[in-house]
Structure 1
């Protein structure tokens, strides 16, 4: 048992991968808790897909791809805010427009790069945590520390703004700055997660651990703490599954965290499908309408 657990740790690349997996599982769960509570899961998806043009352009000009991805993420959030403020288009539609346009631009640029350079940039789409270098571990650690420090320092303000934006504005809090700061935290988290699970799968780590914790506990700080634990356990478990069964690491991590969510959905003491009896009030409306149609005929 212990031999199997310690075997991957004898390889330096696995040591680096596990460190990054733990850091990413932690910050994704913490930042994603705000997204889930605000019902802005699509925003995380939009930003994650919008970083692709930034990393492609950064590679083309020889700059740091993490910086390029972060700038692209910030610009995409500004574009969403600008479309929402200067037109009658709702925020979700603005997110869809920006997300699809940036994703298409990123794929196009990556294709052009690969035409002249035999280099694989597709790992940014699906993740390649086993290939993280020592500098990338330090970059991820610095980003994680920055994100966690900001969350701790602004916890009360972000909590107030998350649950009651109008009340926070009436209380004199800089709600626009808080909103923009939260977008920056999301962009930083996505940049830190690119090599782990890729921009396509990062939404799962942003939302699923917090959603799982939300089925088990009530308060936001409890959701963050439990979600962080779920994210870390899922990341480590996914890495070990990837090592022993020769699976792609990013999808393995996502499958583990999704499996834990399914267990919580089925067996949660307060919201579980099997632990809470189905009543007339929470019975599916579609099922009730179907039964009504069957009775009529």
Structure 2
């Protein structure tokens, strides 16, 4: 007989009131704001592969941090930022970015596995790094996430117009004097920060579901860039908070439910859009 138990937990409301759940909800809010805003630019710049790759590029930083006894987020952030800067500097055009991203990704993945083999503790933490562990987020991490969101909002307020212009039409933006190379580097650097705070929720393997999928859904629903960013943040927040609530009700990992909800919203949006197109 199977040992899998999907029984309903009648104590789920008490679970939601626990301190670790409060941290998870606050972290989810911070992640949703950041992922929703940058997810739009990720799709507009055709950089979904780069966003997915940055999480894996941060893997050796995370395992190396465990090896040295340092915070996992610190190592992850340093390697993700370093990889982002290298990709942004080397890949001035989309085709170049794909090659640079793939090269850096392959090296970083191998290095991460090497670090994991050097330390048994790193090997033990690989599951939380790969699949996330949002229920273990600390007070200090929540504060760090909130500070990052503030910095992100300020940065986007400053570079919003040139970043949007270069994202929608790179050649015209360059002809108008927009510093394309600088926008590439800034975008990748900010994305590295978003990846760093999002990995604790769903891990490096499932990061696509928070950074790209809600933004893809929002692009189907919303008509303008700003509305798409706000919609993506709301969808991301509903996915995370919904995942936390349902994981308290049923014995399923939060990351699995978060990814499932995010994907479900995208499928529904695609289906409704297709029906409208057919009936038009």
TM-score by length of 2: 0.88
| Greater RCO (CA < 8 Å, at least 6 residues apart) | 2
* CA displacement, residues 29-60 of structure 1 (integer Å, 9 cap, x when unaligned): 11111011111100101111100111222232
Q: In the alignment, which residue of structure 2 is the partner of 1:275? A: 276
Structure 1 residue 71, shift from structure 2 partner: 1.9
Q: Larger deviation: 258-267 or 65-74?
A: 65-74
Structure 1 residue 238, shift from structure 2 partner: 0.9
Give unmatched runs, 5+ long, in structure 1: 280-297
Structure 2 Cα separation of the partners of residues 203 and 188 of structure 1: 15
Residues 25 and 234 in structure 1, CA contact (< 8 A), matched pair in contact too: no
Structure 1 Cα separation of the partners of residues 89 and 239 of structure 2: 37
Q: In the alignment, which residue of structure 1 is the partner of 2:219? A: 214
Residues 144 and 192 in structure 1, CA contact (< 8 A), matched pair in contact too: no
Residues 116 and 122 in structure 2, CA contact (< 8 A), matched pair in contact too: no
TM-score by length of 1: 0.83
The answer to whether structure 1 residue 110 and structure 2 residue 106 are counterparts is no
Structure 2 Cα separation of the partners of residues 186 and 48 of structure 1: 10
Structure 1 Cα separation of the partners of residues 97 and 183 of structure 2: 17
The answer to whether structure 1 residue 156 and structure 2 residue 161 are counterparts is yes
Structure 1 Cα separation of the partners of residues 44 and 122 of structure 2: 43
Structure 2 Cα separation of the partners of residues 264 and 106 of structure 1: 37
Residues 88 and 181 in structure 2, CA contact (< 8 A), matched pair in contact too: no
User: Alpha carbons of 1:274 and 1:118: their partners in 2 closer, same or farther (altered >3 Å)?
Assistant: closer
Give unmatched runs, 5+ long, in structure 2: 1-9
Residues 61 and 77 in structure 2, CA contact (< 8 A), matched pair in contact too: yes
Q: In the alignment, which residue of structure 2 is the partner of 1:224? A: 229
**1:76-115 equivalences in 2 (<5 Å):** 76-81=83-88, 84=91, 90-114=96-120
Structure 2 Cα separation of the partners of residues 250 and 32 of structure 1: 18
Q: In the alignment, which residue of structure 1 is the partner of 2:82? A: 75
Structure 1 residue 219, shift from structure 2 partner: 1.2
Higher-Rg structure is 1
Residues 57 and 104 in structure 2, CA contact (< 8 A), matched pair in contact too: yes
Structure 1 residue 92, shift from structure 2 partner: 1.7
Secondary structure, in 3 states, of the residue corresponding to 1:274?
A: helix
Secondary structure, in 3 states, of the residue corresponding to 2:212?
A: helix
* CA displacement, residues 32-91 of structure 1 (integer Å, 9 cap, x when unaligned): 110111111001011111001112222323334323222211222344356557xxx743
Secondary structure, in 3 states, of the residue corresponding to 1:70?
A: helix
Structure 1 residue 101, shift from structure 2 partner: 2.4
Secondary structure, in 3 states, of the residue corresponding to 2:125?
A: coil
Residues 67 and 122 in structure 2, CA contact (< 8 A), matched pair in contact too: no
RMSD, aligned α-carbons: 2.3
The answer to whether structure 1 residue 194 and structure 2 residue 199 are counterparts is yes
